[in-house]
Amino acid sequence: MAWYFRASLTMNVLLLVGTVVIIPPALGCYTSIIGFGDSLADTGNSYLNALDHHDKPFHFFFPPYGEDFFHHPTGRCCDGRLIIDFIGMFFLASSFAAESLGLPLVRPYFEILNVNETVRNFEEGANFAVVGATALDTDYLEKMGHYNEFTNFSLRIQLDWFKGMLSPLCNTASDCRDLLSSSLVLMGPIGGNDYTHALFAGDRFQIVRTFVPVVIEAMASAINELIEHGASTLLVPGNFPIGCLPAYLTLYEGSDESKYDPSTGCLTWLNKFSEYHNEQLQIKLSQIRSLHPHANIIYGDIYSATLQLYQSPKQFGFTGEATKACCGGGGTYNYNSSAQCGLPAASACANPAESINWDGLHCTEAANRWIAKALLYGNYTMPHISTSCVSQL
């Protein structure tokens, strides 16, 4: 049954591949988006790679994933679109084209490879993010006893894919700089899985905290390399408030009320950890700016942009329980690792748009839209990202 369903998804993917969105360049606007990251940004790479290699399907390959926009699973860990989809729509397309065609503007790397359109389509952007990806290489993590069940495609490997696609486009380093200077590079989110895999494997928090400088350094190395290849504008998101995620709230569920923020119900100590990661990331980005003063390196405060949803959920239209997953297998926070969303034992809420969290670890499309708007129009980017050519959605 699983592979019958997968075959039908293949037809849907091929239908999407057959449609090309032409995006006219505009003065002062980005003409493409290049994405890296993990499940928070993967628009189909994990799914397409599994199809090619006949790998065992993951739970997010099945309904109700994708139900609220694409009407079928696409490999996104969401009921619909991700932050990268909305950023692409805001910057690169008219609202009519994006909404009526229902297409992601940043195509997954494996989709581009599958249809042999590397050169033409890379100029429209490419997304290298993969579900489960880590900032640190998997061999480094495996030496510490951590094995990634989802992928071995780390940030370093994603960067290698990117460089491999440059070779048919750039005859010289100058050519690459010209191509990348009009692109917005979305560096993440990435790094969260380096901590998540360890914490869910039972590592002590004090040990996991020591990963932060190494994770930040891996991100910095990739950013420096991208700038050397010609990237001039990079949006680097921080970590989410993981203390608000149903998966973490379930893992560390307890009766000590002092560990919870009374205004949100989130675990304070886990959010403090996210804040520590974000502080260290911002320090590193300041150092990179001093090394590359010509580059526009923008920090994306996803932590604060997301936390506002938990602090005032009804203000943003979220009438469900803020810290409860829409789709899951039961429990206090509707998260059960043995009955994850997409598996037969799980079920979804009637209206995902009323929930912040989709499956215990990822936001709903409705929340992703608010977060993307906050990054582009609010005070959640430093320095503030230019929105002179952004279409209003």
Domain of residue 335 covers 2-10+32-382
Instruction: Determine the Cα–Cα distance for residues 100 and 19; give it in Å rounded to an integer.
Output: 12
- Round the average pLDDT of the chain to a whole number and report it: 84
Q: Which of 96-100, 348-352, 380-384 has the lowest mean pLDDT?
A: 96-100
Q: Is 103 a residue whose pLDDT tops 70?
A: no
**Residue 82 CB-half CA count within 13 A:** 29
Distances (CA, A) of 369 to 67, 80, 293: 16, 10, 31
In a domain, 387, yes or no: no
In a domain, 392, yes or no: no
Q: What is the mean pLDDT of residues 287-299?
A: 96
* Band (115; pLDDT cuts 50, 70, 90): low
In a domain, 88, yes or no: yes
Distances (CA, A) of 76 to 67, 196, 261, 280: 11, 19, 30, 29
pTM over 0.85: yes
In a domain, 17, yes or no: no
Instruction: Determine the Cα–Cα distance for residues 232 and 303; give it in Å rounded to an integer.
Output: 24
Kindly tell me the sign of the dihedral angle through the C-alpha atoms of 14, 166, 188, 152. positive
CATH number reported for the structural domain that contains residue 287 in this entry = 3.40.50.1110
In a domain, 294, yes or no: yes
Question: Assign residue 387 a region: left if phi > 0, alpha if psi is -120 to 50, beta otherwise?
Answer: alpha
Q: What is the pLDDT of residues 226-280, one digit of tens each?
A: 999 999 999 999 999 999 999 999 999 998 999 999 999 999 999 999 999 999 9
How many structural domains are present in the chain? 1
Angle of the 155-166 helix axis to the 212-229 helix axis, nearest 10:
10
* 142, 249, 340, 129 alpha-carbon torsion, rounded to 10°: -50
Positions marked active-site: 39, 359, 362
Q: What is the mean pLDDT of residues 31-41?
A: 92
Q: Is 102 a residue whose pLDDT tops 50?
A: no
In a domain, 173, yes or no: yes
Of 332 and 386, the structure prediction assigns the larger pLDDT to 332
In a domain, 149, yes or no: yes
Distances (CA, A) of 77 to 94, 186, 333: 25, 18, 18
In a domain, 15, yes or no: no
